[in-house]
Amino acid sequence: MSIMGSRASALACAAALCLVSPATAFAAGPWQGFYVGAVGGYGDFDLDVANPTTPDQSLEGGLLGATAGFNFQSNNLVFGIEADWSAANIFTMVRDGNYLTEDSTINSLGTLRARLGLASGSWLPFVSGGFIWDEVEGGIICPAGAAFGVCAITGPFNVRSTETHTGWTVGGGVEYMMAASWSAKVEYLYADFDKASYTGTVPVLGTATSDETQTMNSLVRFGVNYRF
């Protein structure tokens, strides 16, 4: 082989190495790609009512739903975006006066969050934060036959209103890769919501408005994801 041919071969090999090395250095890791999954858990919420004569509420209950997301992995650093929605049954009822009762139920909850994790073998501990919303149905009930108080004036009624609360959420957790396409996770979230106004028409008294702010003290969730 001529000197010119040897140099050409060497240059070709060098060029090939230049193309292969970056690709190898930044090759997608096992956490990279789209995924879908199921999620369920238990939450503890507070509803604070602006009217000081109305008792605040503490709600507890479970939820079950679906999640979808995408991860980008560079070496052991994993950055992703995740969305989820769950049907919920998170409920409370309190007595407001001698006969009047109030109840609230969180019927659904969703989040849209960024995630940042540090992969270590099959484990991925992560922190998370973003946007959260939930749908809350609130009700005020007076029974028939009240002997005194507000319910004696108004008579029986059941006034209900459903509002959407929005806010921000932060938390963290850990995910474990069980197989090439399957992983399981556990996570904790805290959230703070903006004020929402509930309005209903009460017999005799007319239109009533209640301004309420919501805090999610804790939401512990378990999930299973399938990766594409």
In this structure, the number of other CB atoms found within 10 A of the CB of residue 148 comes to: 10
Domain ranges of the chain: 1-28, 31-227
175-227 pLDDT, tens per residue? Answer: 999 998 999 999 999 999 999 999 999 999 899 899 999 999 999 999 999 99
pLDDT at 1: 47
Residue 25 banded pLDDT, cuts 50, 70, 90? very low
CB burial class (10 A; 0-12, 13-18, 19+) of residue 86? buried
pLDDT at 116: 98
SS3 56: coil
Phi, psi at 64, each rounded to 5°: -150, 130
pLDDT at 28: 67
Q: What mean pLDDT do residues 7-29 have?
A: 43
Q: What is the pTM of this model?
A: 0.83
Q: What mean pLDDT do residues 46-60 have?
A: 92
Architecture of domain 31-227: Beta Barrel (2.40)
